[in-house]
Chain A
Amino acid sequence: MSRSRMIGAAMLILLAGSARVRGKEPGKPVRLSAEEAGRTVRLLDDVYQSAVINTHKMYVRDPGTPSAVTWAKQVLRDVNGKGWPAARVFAASQRPLNPENDPADAFEEEAVKQFQRGQPVFERLDGDVLRYASSIRVVDRSCLTCHVHNREGDLLGGISYRAPLLLAGKAALGSERPGKAAP
């Protein structure tokens, strides 16, 4: 067997061994059109918000169990690591349960202000990056297991997203979720 064929065979074996679960290879962040970015951050937001609530209801019974948000942060890290539009959990409180959840920048600080005024979401363009944030509130008493100083309806924080765009400011924001989009 020639050297190049041996290398080829070795690469095939490596590929076969590593690609059992298909997923985006870790790498360059994906860049999307403005419309696609708007839809993608809404898709991610629906999936993460729903996952946290489902997971919380299914498994979290006492403060000794890892919180659904702690679980979600690991999922976000793994998915972000593949270069998809990145998501981050941030807290609205002056005293978050975990200091790494403080608002990271002016966008998240502004999002907290908007949430406090009752807005459920906040978005804007920062250069060629679409920023989007949605709020997390105390949805029912089960949240109080850990958030002992809060009441139902209290703002806890949010999830913020950054989606790099193909062309800065090329199209208007405001892509909708399913059912609201233009036919």
Chain B
Amino acid sequence: MKASSLRTALTAGAALSAIVLAVSSGSAQPKAPASPVKMPLDQARQTVDLLNDVYVNSVVLTHSTYVKDRGTPAAAVVARRLFKTMAEKGWPETRWLSTTGRPFNPDANPRDAFEREAVAALKQGKARVERVEDSKLRVATLVPMVDKSCGMCHTKDKVGDPIGGLSYTVNLTSK
């Protein structure tokens, strides 16, 4: 190391102590939420598309594999836990959005202007709505009533009805 690189040494020292701290704090206690990941707009869009494919597939398969009666936890509930875990790790935030105004969980009602407008568009059958605001990419995707098995709990809706969606928020890197 060159004598001039005191700053590098200090930075390395700080990084090392951060690692030592991280290791000594152990894994027994729950981890503090990681600072949210930021990415350029095109990558943010692609990441939402990927997450949406994973989440929608996993919900449909959870339902068909495990949910046999109304006593079993709904696939949407286990998905919500997964969204929480992912957000705690710093990955894009995801939440359920109800378009019906009568969700099982009131958390799924739209919370802000973007979600209210998104719900209006999803109800018309639009598959995806997006907006960039406050250095964030907001995306809402339609999750319709996929098949008759959904009707086990969603008794007031028909197959194909645009009853719900997923709302994503991704932090963007500044240009």
Contacts and interface: CB of A to CB of B under 8 A. Distances in A.
B54 A24 contact: no
B41 interface: no
B54 A44 contact: yes
B85 to A, nearest CB: 4
Interface string B86-99: 10011100000000
B36 interface: yes
Interface stretch (A90-98, A124-132, A149-157, A172-180): A172-180
Interface string B34-46: 1111010001001
A48 B127 CA distance: 25
Contact of A65 (B54, B66, B141): B66
A143 interface: no
A20 B127 contact: yes
Contacts of A177: 34, 37, 89-90
Given A79-B53, A82-B53, A84-B53, A21 B73 contact: no
A8 interface: no
A129 to B, nearest CB: 17
A150 B51 CA distance: 33
Interface residues of A, number: 36
A65 B51 CA distance: 27
Contacts of B144: 20-21
A55 B91 contact: no
Given A22-B127, A66-B66, A46 B49 contact: no
B54 A75 contact: yes
B7 to A, nearest CB: 16
Interface string B19-40: 0000000000000001111010
Contacts, number: 114
B128 interface: yes
Nearest to A33: B43
Contacts of B127: 19-22
Determine the interface band of chain B, counting residues with CB < 8 A from chain A.
Answer: 35 or more
Contacts of B57: 75, 78-79
Contacts of A50: 82, 85-86, 89
Given A71-B61, A71-B65, A40 B128 contact: no
A48 B66 CA distance: 17
B62 interface: yes
Contact of A39 (B37, B56, B61): B37
Interface string A36-47: 100110011011
B86 to A, nearest CB: 6
Given A51-B54, A54-B78, 15 more contacts: A21-B144, A22-B141, A22-B142, A23-B49, A24-B50, A24-B53, A36-B43, A43-B51, A50-B89, A51-B58, A54-B85, A59-B62, A59-B72, A66-B65, A71-B66
Interface of A: 16, 19-24, 30, 36, 39-40, 43-44, 46-48, 50-51, 54-55, 58-59, 65-66, 71, 74-75, 78-79, 82, 84, 177-181
